[in-house]
Each structure stands twice: as structure tokens, then as C-alpha cells.
């Protein structure tokens, strides 16, 4: 009912919808319809005889409802993003189009969507309209345990960092395991505006610190897959990381848990006894390795001393292993990423590895990581796909990372700034660039959650 | 005799040489760690507003002067075209983040962790505005103050449990001036810099208790005077209840049903404001998620009623709204016509004076090296207030580099970093 009321009130500028107004308008419409159909009935309608009156009534009513549904359909827009350049790789869109949003969903992406049917129109001329970004590597199980990731102060509150960078979905990289996932869900996932998905750590208590996080006896594939099946909408994969022993049981258990639930495995870091080649060999097609371009003592880098991508790394890429950036505080070096990019080892996603030690360092936020790749020579289209559709597919969440009709309205509107910029890697080395992404507007499930310059705001009148 | 003379002749040069060696050694120890070269320094306390270099050794400022030679510097950062200021002080934030999911700001989810917001906006010191009271301040200290890289100071709430929830904040029996003053004077005189009174629905009791505690501890009181229904008179607050040096926050708030405004419905600053100023009442911005309206701020600024301190009231309901961060709030005032120098003063030396922490908010030789370096962006910008209305502007502050106690804690474009392919 509230809908039809809106339909009519929108047509009548003079007053707000009330029941009386509604009835009055209904009568008015019927009268107009009667006038419209009058020429087809050369005799006085109501006065001649009873059956015709009935027939007319039915006719008028159907006409009325036809018009009503037409109007309702055309006027359902809550938010209309007008004249932006839409980049929606999932739907092969890369053109100037309008995006209409209603009730938290994308309802239309087309040229010239009429503004008079929209409750709110935001002019995004000169800006890029993209699906809200997906950051597949974060640590957001924030809590008050000191110096700890799981339920601790080394993790961060996602909303503090996401929307200002166009990110609407984050995937927590195994900060919790099956034992403390419910705490994570209650404490963070259910209370954040950012959509939070998770890789479940094969370690039962997640990244709880030493020695519990390395306890092989608490890396139970049955328990892990039980949790995955209990929370299929949130848990999208399994993670292995932070194991310093040389047994392969933890890795095998993680693969087993992922196998049972048909989800990908995320291979993180701090696995010093496993060789890179062995890790890649044991991974399945569709599994993800992160910190791809790190240069640290505990793991061989993907590029050899001569600057060539190692043959077994290329082999793994061919086999369908996905490479995530996982920038973090130590996981991204130009000396590795640059030759890798030049030789075709491009990352599949721009996971930030957001945590306390990366937030203010070279990483900063996902847009900054994306801007790095812009300066390294990747096209903006290739960047956007790696921030949206590619990670969505990798975690089997094809409902996300795209702007198809009916998709949840998670949208990022970007400006491409020009100027002299610099970008720093984990080693404190800089690359210069002339362009940088800036998040102008972020929409999460149809609601504006970030508006840098007030493009959706009304002008202040004195 | 002869041998003695000879000895003198030989020893003296040796001694002199030794002295020389020691001096060179000291000089080398005095080698500059970071030299900020060619920037425009704005240091309101020292009345510096010109092109100067800033030299830092370990965690201290050692020299601010034109043309400091680069030869003795381990790291030279070219900050030409940028503004170098004392690290900003954000005098009104809520950073008592914690796991009590039923709580509001005290140990609760409405507070934020400071480091994610401060350095990227040039802030090096924040003052938590009464999130905790004497009963739970120790927890704030343990959880946040002792762990943060940002310097965190605090105003202690006159309510013993701080901002646990609106309901608990009404408990007059938990507004204990003696315990509040004891905690400040006896236990944490270096960290607790004042008292907060806020969110009270009743009469002047809460403010009076806070002032009583303020007198006992010899610290200022900050008042958020916003939830009285009908509103209590702010004229009475300024002229009768507060002392000179006490602080009125959320100055440009527009919530006429529960909070008396400083600008009347005809857009005129109320006449008693000037008297309150004369009396020494201080006005803080405290932007927040609901406390900064253009319809108050614009006429106030036009009529010369500028704030004494510019602050954010950072918490989860302001962080992604019109507020964003302190650099954005300062930019709002610059776009309303305030000079960059005046805006910087209101987030450095002015708050340092208000909270009586004169070692902060300046670049005097010997002070801890908390420094912010800003770029003033030119372009078309928009700034939103808490009512969702926008003021257009052409300038915006962007924090390029932030230094906390001599350490680089934020470098937006890598001005301090070498090129990745440098040999």
C-alpha cells in the first residue's frame, strides 16, 4: 500500500500522501479513465443498463491496474547514479551509463534513465562507477586481547577502512578457526556495515598466537568443514598459515577440509619449512596463494635472482592456482611484483592484508594498492576486474562484484586524480605515478555509506 | 725543569687534540636524523610562518632555521611546497574501544582505535573526551593509551563509569568530585588533563559536580550540554556555572529542541556569547555525527565568532559521515574563510594551552618531535555537515607526512622513500 501511495504522491506535487488523498486520486483516475473509454461506448454508460455498468467497471479497473503497475515499475528508483562511466567486468560493461538502485538492489543499468522517476539523483559525470570492491585478505577479528590477531588488537574494525576506499566486502583471512568463529561472528561480522566473509583457519582457535595456533591436534578437517557447512553464507574457504613445523599434516588437513566443503584454500604465510614449490604443487586449481610478491627470508620469492618468474610458478599459474597480492606490512615488493607483472604473472586479486601494521605503512588501503598497479602499467579495466569480479569468482560468490540487475547494490564511485604521486612498498621503496584512485561515493546495499565531497548532499542554503 | 717544559709542549697538543676528537665525536652524535628541507613552517607558539628547515635528532626537535646544511643529516626529506606544522592535537575523540558489546562508548563498539585515524590526518595527540570515568579509566589506559602509537590523553568523565550508556550517565550518585579529582591528582596527573560532563538530562547538578572536581584537581571542565528537555540556558552555563578556562563543546550544533544554540533563529550570534568569551569560556568544535551544522557555523564565522579549538569528536558514527577526520574539519573552516595559520593554531598551540600541556603543539627546540606535513590541495571540493547539506570549497588539507616522537608514522606519497630501482 505504501507503494501505491508513493506512486500517486509522486505525481501530485501539492501535498503528501494520506489515505484521503489516495482515495481522491483513485476516484480521479477512474473518472479520467471513464472519459478515455467513453468514445468506444456511444451510449450513456451508467444509466443504460446494469450489466454494461459492471462490464465498464471491470474494464476501467483493469485499465487502472495496468497503469498502476506501469507507474510503479517506472518509479521504483531510490537512487540514480547519472552519467558515470560504468565498469562492470562481469557483464562486459565499460561505457557511459546510468545505474538505478531500488530497495538495496541494482534495478537497471542503461543509458538515459529518466531522472523524474528517481527519489534521489546523484550526478557522477566524469567518475567511474564500479561494483563495490572485494578485499579477500584482511584481519578484522578485532578484540581486546593485546598483541593478538584473533579477538585482539592486531586486527582492525573493518568499517574504519573499507568504505573510504570503495570496499564493500572483506574476507577475513583465517583470523578465526572453528572454535572462535562464533565469537568473531557475534562480535564483528553481525555488527559491521561492511559485508564480512571469512576463510576459516584450519587451526581451531585461528590466529591465537603461539603455541596454540601451531597445535597439529587442533587442526581438525571434520570440525572445520562442519563449521563451513553451518555458516555457508559467510565462510567461503579454508586457510593454512603460521605453522613453523615441517610436517605436512596441517596442510593436508586444510586441503581435506576445503575438499569436503568444496571451497578454495588460501595459503598465507609463515610456513618456513614448506618450500614454495611444494606448497604450489599441493594446491588445487582455484586455490589461492597470498603474499605473492613478498621478499622475505622464510619463503622463496616467485622471481629468481635474474628477475625471471620461476618456471614452477608459471606452471602453477597455468594449472589454475590464483595469486593474491596480500600486501600487508611485508608482503609486497616492487622488485618482485614489477618483473612478475611484465612477465605475465598478474595477481588475481588485490588483497590488502589489512591489519595494525599495514594500515599506515605502504599499504594504506585497497585503493592505494590498486593505484600502485596503475602506476606499474596495468589498465584501469584490468584493475577493476581484479577488485570485483575476479575475487568474487575465486570465493564462489558470483552474486557479488557485479552490477547485474537484481544484484545487491554495493557500488564504488571513483575519481581518477591526476598529479604527482608516490607509492611505497613493504621495503620502503617508492614508485612514482601520475594517477591515483580516490573513492568519491560508496554504496552498501543501496545505502550511501561514504561521500567524500558530498556529491549526494544538498547544497547548504543560508 | 727542562723535561717538564718538554712535557708541557708535548702534552698540551695531545690534550687539545683529545678535546677536538671529543667535540667531533659529540657533533657526530648530534648528527641530524631527519631534516625536513624547504617547507613552509607554521608554528603559532613561536610565531613562525615562513620557509624554514626542521632538524630532528632521535625523538626531539633540535633546530628550526632557514638553510640548515644537509651534510650532517642522515635523512633529508624535500618538503618544498608543503606546510610543516606541529603534530595536530585532536582535543575531542572517543577511543575507549572494547569488547563490551552492550556498552555505548566506554569499552564499547562506538569508540574507535585511534591509530587508524590520527596519523593519516596529521594528528599525533588525541584527548579522549570522557569515555571513561574514575571507575574504568585504568581499563582505557591498559587497552588503548598504553598500546597506541598516537599519544592519548584523557578527560575523565564526572560519571564514575564514564559513557557506558545514557541510562548510567544519569546517576547523580555516581558523580563523585572527590574520587574524580583524586584519580587525576594522585594517580594520573600526566595523562588526565581535564573533566567531562555530558549527556545529562537533568538540571545543572552534573556540571556543578564536574566544576567542583575541576577545582579540586585544578583542571578544566568540558561540557557537552545537549540532552536537556527543555534545554537548559547556556547563558547561565557560561556566566554562572563554568569557570574561565572551561570548555563548551559541540559549539555549532543545531538541535534546538534539546540544546540551546549559539546562533538564534534569525542567524544572529546571541549577545551573551561575547560576554562569555570575555569571561574566558572556551569554545570547541567537537564535530561528531550530530554536532556541526552549516546554519550555525557559517553565520557565526561571518559575525566573527570563531572557535577556540577545532576538534573532531571521532567515533564510529562520525568517522564515515561529514566529519571524516581532523584534516577535513580544518578544511571546512579554511573554506569558510579562516586562514590556514589560524586553523593550524586551533589544532596545535590553542588546545595545548587549553589542556595545559605546553610541551605539545609547538616546534620549539627540545620538544618531542611530533610533526605534520600538509599539502594544500586546490580543486573543487565539497564539505558536508551533520544535516547532510554541503558547502563547496576550493582548498583541502592532505597529510603528506606525519612524524611521532621522531619516527615517520605516515607517508602518503613516499616523500621520505627512495626510488625502488635506485642503485
> Per residue in A364-412, pLDDT tens?
999 999 999 999 999 999 999 999 999 999 999 999 999 999 999 999 9
Best residue of B384, B389, B391, B407 to probe chain A, by most A CBs closer than 10 Å? B384
CB A366 within 8 A of CB A167: yes
pLDDT at residue B147 above 50?
yes
CB A204 within 8 A of CB A169: no
d(CA A85, CA A125): 8
Q: Which residues of B touch A160 (CB under 8 A)?
A: 112-113, 116-117, 316, 319
Chain A stretch 383-442, residues whose beta carbon is closer than 8 A to a beta carbon of chain B: 420-425, 427-432
Query: Which of A142, A191, A423 comes nearest B414 by C-beta?
Result: A423
Predicted confidence at residue B230, as pLDDT, reads 85
CB A344 within 8 A of CB A129: no
Chain B stretch 78-97, residues whose beta carbon is closer than 8 A to a beta carbon of chain A: 97
Per the structure block, which three cell numbers stand in for A159? 568499517
CB B368 within 8 A of CB B359: yes
Judged by CB atoms closer than 8 Å, whether chains meet at A429 and B417 is answered as yes
Beta bridge partners of A80: A100, A121
Predicted confidence at residue A63, as pLDDT, reads 67
Per-residue model confidence as pLDDT tens digits over B269-317: 999 999 999 999 999 999 999 999 999 999 999 999 999 999 999 999 9
Map residue A101 onto helix, strand or coil. strand
Q: How many residues does this entry show for chain B?
A: 423
B25/chain A closest Cα distance in angstroms? 30
B247 exposure class (CB count in 10 Å sphere: 0-12, 13-18, 19+): buried
Average pLDDT over residues B366-370: 98
Predicted confidence at residue A148, as pLDDT, reads 96
Would you place residue B256 in the very low, low, confident or very high pLDDT band (cuts 50, 70, 90)? confident
Rg (CA), chain A: 27
A337 or A74, greater pLDDT: A337
Q: B415 at the A interface (CB within 8 A)?
A: yes
Predicted confidence at residue A132, as pLDDT, reads 98
Map residue A24 onto helix, strand or coil. helix
Per-residue model confidence as pLDDT tens digits over B10-44: 666 666 666 555 554 444 446 999 999 999 999 99
d(CA B116, CA A267): 27
Per-residue model confidence as pLDDT tens digits over A235-244: 999 999 999 9
Q: B407 at the A interface (CB within 8 A)?
A: no
Query: Which of A360, A429, A457 comes nearest B410 by C-beta?
Result: A360
Averaged pLDDT score across all residues of chain A: 89
pTM to 2 decimals?
0.88
- In chain A, % of residues over pLDDT 70: 84
CB A446 within 8 A of CB A403: no
pLDDT at residue A416 above 60?
yes
Phi, psi of A288 (to 5 degrees): -120, 130
Predicted confidence at residue A72, as pLDDT, reads 47
Predicted confidence at residue B222, as pLDDT, reads 98
d(CA A120, CA B252): 28
Residue among B150, B239, B164, B230 at smallest CA distance from B198 = B164
d(CA B235, CA B201): 18
Map residue A394 onto helix, strand or coil. helix
The size of the A-B interface in CB pairs under 8 A is: 122
Nearest CA in chain A to B378: A419
- Measured CA to CA in angstroms, residue B127 lies from B96, B159, B168, B354 at distances of 11, 17, 22, 11
pLDDT at residue A247 above 90?
yes
Planar angle of CA A22, A23, A28, nearest 5 degrees? 95
Predicted confidence at residue B15, as pLDDT, reads 62
CB A443 within 8 A of CB A167: no
Planar angle of CA B163, B231, B170, nearest 5 degrees? 30
β-pairing, B48-57 with B60-65?
A: antiparallel
Largest Cα–Cα distance of chain A, in whole Å? 98
| Chain centroid offset of residue A162 CA | 10
pLDDT at residue A53 above 80?
no
d(CA A451, CA B328): 13
3-state SS string over B368-396?
ECCEEEEEEEEEEEEEECCCCEEEEEEEE
Amino acid at each position: 500500500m505504501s507503494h501505491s501511495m508513493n506512486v500517486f504522491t509522486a505525481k501530485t506535487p501539492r501535498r503528501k500522501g494520506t489515505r484521503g488523498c489516495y482515495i481522491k486520486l483513485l476516484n480521479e483516475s477512474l473518472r479520467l479513465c471513464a472519459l478515455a473509454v467513453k468514445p468506444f461506448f456511444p451510449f450513456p454508460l451508467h444509466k443504460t443498463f446494469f450489466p454494461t455498468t459492471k462490464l465498464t467497471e471491470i474494464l476501467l479497473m483493469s485499465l487502472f491496474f495496468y497503469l498502476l503497475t506501469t507507474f510503479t515499475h517506472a518509479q521504483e528508483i531510490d537512487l540514480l547514479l547519472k552519467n558515470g562511466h560504468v565498469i562492470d567486468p562481469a557483464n562486459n560493461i565499460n561505457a557511459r551509463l546510468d545505474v538505478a538502485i531500488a530497495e538495496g538492489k541494482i534495478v537497471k543499468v542503461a543509458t538515459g534513465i529518466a531522472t523524474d522517476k528517481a527519489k534521489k539523483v546523484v550526478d557522477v559525470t566524469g567518475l567511474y562507477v564500479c561494483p563495490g570492491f572485494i578485499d579477500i585478505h584482511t584481519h578484522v577479528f578485532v578484540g581486546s586481547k593485546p598483541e593478538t590477531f584473533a579477538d585482539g588488537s592486531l586486527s582492525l574494525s573493518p568499517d574504519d577502512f573499507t568504505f573510504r576506499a570503495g570496499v564493500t566486502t572483506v574476507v577475513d583471512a583465517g583470523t578465526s578457526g572453528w572454535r572462535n568463529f562464533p565469537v568473531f561472528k557475534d562480535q564483528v561480522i553481525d555488527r559491521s556495515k561492511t559485508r564480512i566473509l571469512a576463510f576459516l583457519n584450519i587451526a581451531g582457535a585461528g590466529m591465537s598466537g603461539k603455541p596454540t595456533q601451531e597445535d597439529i591436534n587442533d587442526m581438525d578437517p571434520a570440525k572445520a568443514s562442519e563449521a563451513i557447512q553451518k555458516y555457508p553464507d559467510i565462510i567461503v574457504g579454508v586457510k593454512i598459515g603460521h605453522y613453523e613445523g615441517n610436517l605436512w599434516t596441517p596442510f593436508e588437513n586444510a586441503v581435506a577440509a576445503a575438499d569436503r566443503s568444496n571451497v578454495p584454500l588460501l595459503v598465507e604465510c609463515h610456513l618456513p619449512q614448506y618450500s614454495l614449490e611444494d606448497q604450489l604443487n599441493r594446491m588445487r586449481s582455484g586455490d589461492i596463494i597470498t603474499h605473492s610478491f613478498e621478499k622475505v627470508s622464510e619463503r622463496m620469492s616467485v622471481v629468481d635472482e635474474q628477475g625471471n618468474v620461476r618456471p614452477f610458478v608459471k606452471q602453477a599459474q597455468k594449472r589454475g592456482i590464483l595469486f593474491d597480492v596480500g600486501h600487508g606490512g611485508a608482503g609486497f615488493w616492487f622488485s618482485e611484483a614489477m618483473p612478475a607483472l611484465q612477465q605475465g604473472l598478474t595477481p588475481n586479486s588485490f588483497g590488502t592484508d589489512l591489519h595494525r601494521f599495514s594500515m599506515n605503512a605502504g599499504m594504506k588501503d585497497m585503493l592505494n594498492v590498486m593505484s600502485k598497479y596503475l602506476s606499474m602499467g596495468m589498465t584501469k579495466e584490468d584493475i577493476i576486474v581484479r577488485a570485483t569480479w575476479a575475487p568474487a569468482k575465486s570465493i564462489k560468490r558470483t552474486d557479488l562484484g557485479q552490477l547485474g540487475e537484481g544484484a545487491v547494490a554495493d557500488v564504488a564511485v571513483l575519481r581518477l586524480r591526476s598529479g604527482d604521486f608516490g607509492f611505497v612498498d613493504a621495503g620502503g621503496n617508492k614508485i612514482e605515478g601520475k594517477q591515483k584512485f580516490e573513492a568519491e561515493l560508496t554504496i552498501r546495499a543501496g545505502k550511501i555509506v561514504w561521500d567524500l565531497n558530498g556529491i549526494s548532499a544538498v547544497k547548504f542554503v543560508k | 725543569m727542562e723535561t717538564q717544559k718538554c712535557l708541557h709542549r708535548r702534552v698540551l697538543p695531545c690534550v687539545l687534540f683529545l678535546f677536538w676528537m671529543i667535540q667531533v665525536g659529540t657533533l657526530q652524535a648530534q648528527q641530524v636524523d631527519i631534516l625536513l628541507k624547504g617547507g613552509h613552517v607554521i608554528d603559532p607558539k613561536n610565531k613562525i610562518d615562513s620557509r624554514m628547515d626542521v632538524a630532528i635528532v632521535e625523538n626531539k626537535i633540535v633546530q628550526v632555521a632557514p638553510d640548515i646544511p644537509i651534510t650532517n643529516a642522515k635523512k633529508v626529506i624535500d618538503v618544498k611546497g608543503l606546510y610543516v606544522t606541529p603534530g595536530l592535537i585532536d582535543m575531542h575523540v572517543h577511543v575507549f574501544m572494547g569488547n563490551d558489546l552492550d556498552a555505548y562508548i566506554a569499552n564499547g563498539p562506538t569508540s574507535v582505535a585511534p591509530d587508524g585515524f590520527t596519523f593519516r590526518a596529521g594528528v599525533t595527540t588525541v584527548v579522549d573526551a570522557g569515555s571513561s570515568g574514575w571507575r574504568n579509566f585504568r581499563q582505557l589506559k591498559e587497552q588503548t593509551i598504553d598500546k597506541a602509537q598516537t599519544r592519548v590523553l584523557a578527560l575523565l568523565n564526572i560519571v564514575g563509569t564514564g559513557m557506558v550508556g545514557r541510562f548510567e550517565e544519569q546517576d547523580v550518585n555516581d558523580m563523585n568530585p572527590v574520587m574524580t579529582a583524586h584519580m587525576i591528582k594522585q594517580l594520573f596527573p600526566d595523562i588526565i588533563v581535564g573533566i567531562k560532563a555530558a549527556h545529562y538530562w537533568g538540571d545543572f547538578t552534573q556540571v556543578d559536580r564536574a566544576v567542583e572536581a575541576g577545582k579540586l584537581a585544578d583542571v578544566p571542565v568540558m561540557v557537552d550540554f545537549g540532552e536537556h528537555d527543555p534545554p537548559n540556558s547556556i547563558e547561565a552555563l557560561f556566566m554562572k556555572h563554568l569557570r574561565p578556562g572551561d570548555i563548551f563543546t559541540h559549539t555549532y550544533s543545531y538541535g534546538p529542541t534539546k540544546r540551546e544554540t549559539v546562533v538564534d533563529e534569525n542567524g544572529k550570534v546571541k549577545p551573551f556569547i561575547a560576554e562569555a568569551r570575555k569571561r574566558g569560556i572556551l569554545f570547541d568544535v567537537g564535530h561528531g555525527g550530530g554536532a556541526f551544522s552549516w546554519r550555525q557555523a557559517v553565520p557565526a564565522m561571518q559575525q566573527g565568532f570563531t572557535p577556540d579549538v577545532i576538534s573532531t569528536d571521532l567515533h564510529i558514527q562520525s568517522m564515515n559521515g561529514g566529519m571524516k577526520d581532523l584534516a577535513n574539519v580544518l578544511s571546512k573552516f579554511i573554506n569558510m574563510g579562516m586562514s590556514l595559520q589560524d586553523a593550524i593554531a586551533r589544532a596545535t598551540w590553542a588546545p595545548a594551552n587549553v589542556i595545559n600541556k605546553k610541551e605539545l603543539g609547538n616546534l620549539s627546540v627540545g620538544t618531542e618531535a611530533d610533526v605534520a606535513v600538509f599539502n594544500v590541495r586546490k580543486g573543487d571540493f565539497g564539505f558536508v555537515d551533520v544535516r547532510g547539506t554541503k558547502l563547496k570549497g576550493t582548498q583541502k588539507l592532505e597529510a603528506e607526512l606525519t612524524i611521532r616522537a621522531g619516527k615517520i608514522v605516515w607517508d602518503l606519497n613516499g616523500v621520505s622513500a627512495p626510488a625502488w630501482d635506485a642503485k
